[in-house]
Amino acid sequence: MPVMATTPHALLADAAAVAAGGVRAVGDGAALRVGVDLGTASCVLVVLDDDRPVWVGAQPSGALRDGVVVDFARATGTVRALKAAAEAALGVFRDGELVALDDRAGGGHHLDLVLAGALGIALEDAEPYKRSHPAEAFGVLVPGLQRVAENVRALTVGAEDLPLHLAGGALMLPGADDVLATRLERTVVTYPHALLITPLGIARSA
C-alpha cells in the first residue's frame, strides 16, 4: 500500500523530493492519476499512485497569458513532452468541498511585465531575474503584489475570516506573503513548494 502524506506540507515536500530525485516504483495494477498545471512560466505534470507522488516533471512554458492559451502549439508540445517523459519513466503505464471558483488576471505574467518595464529588460528575462535577484525584484513588484491582493479581496467576499493560502510560482517571491497579509489584514499561509500545489490538487481530484 502507498504511504500517503498526512499534511499539505508533507505532500508538497514529498512531491518536491520526487521532482529532485526521479521516478518512484509503483504497485502492480496501480490506478495512477495525473495533474497538469500549464502555468505562465512553467508547465508542471504530477503523477500520483493513490495520494503518493511517483513522478513530477516541469518544463518552461510561456504559452499562457492571463489564464488564456496564446500559443496552442507550444502548450500541446510541452504537455506531450512531459507526458512522454512520465510514460517512459513509469514503463507499462499509459494513456473539503469546493464552493466557488474564479480567476482574475494579475499573476506571474503581469509581475514579469512590471519588472521588465521598470528595469528595461526583455520580458523573457524578467522571470529569471526575479528568481536570481529576489530582493531587488521585490521592491519593484510591491505595487503588482498589492494589485494581486485587491483581486483576492474581490474574489473572496464573505470569506474574509478564512486564512489565505498562496499557490503557484508567482507569489513565491520572499516578502510577497507579507504584502498580501498587510494589505488584506488576513492570515496568509505559504508553502515552500507552492508551484506543485495546483497539479497535485488536480491529480488528487482526478
* 5-50 pLDDT per residue, tens: 568 888 899 999 988 887 887 766 667 888 988 877 788 999 998 8
Name all domains of the chain by residue range, CATH numbers in brackets: 8-95+195-205 (3.30.420.40), 108-192 (3.30.420.40)
Residue 184 has pLDDT above 90, yes or no: yes
Which of 139-148, 163-172, 179-188 shows the lowest mean pLDDT across its residues? 163-172
Give the separation between CA 75 and CA 61, rounded to whole angstroms.
7
Q: What torsion do the CA atoms of 25, 26, 27, 28 make, to the nearest 10 degrees?
A: -100
Q: Find how far residue 54's CA is from the centre of its chain.
A: 18
Average pLDDT over residues 60-65: 77
Average pLDDT over residues 138-148: 91
Q: What is the pLDDT of residues 75-119, one digit of tens each?
A: 888 888 898 888 878 767 554 555 666 777 667 788 888 999 999
Q: What is the pLDDT of residue 181?
A: 95
Q: Are 61 and 39 in contact (CB under 8 A)?
A: yes
Name the band, by pLDDT with cuts 50, 70 and 90, for residue 177. Answer: very high
Q: What is the pLDDT of residue 1?
A: 44
Q: What secondary structure, in 3-state letters, does 55-98 show?
A: EEEEEECCCEECCEECCHHHHHHHHHHHHHHHHHHHCCCCCCCC
Tell me the pTM. Answer: 0.57
Q: What is the pLDDT of residue 99?
A: 65
Q: Is 28 exposed, middle or buried (0-12, 13-18, 19+ CB in 10 A)?
A: exposed
Amino acid at 33: R
Average pLDDT over residues 65-78: 80
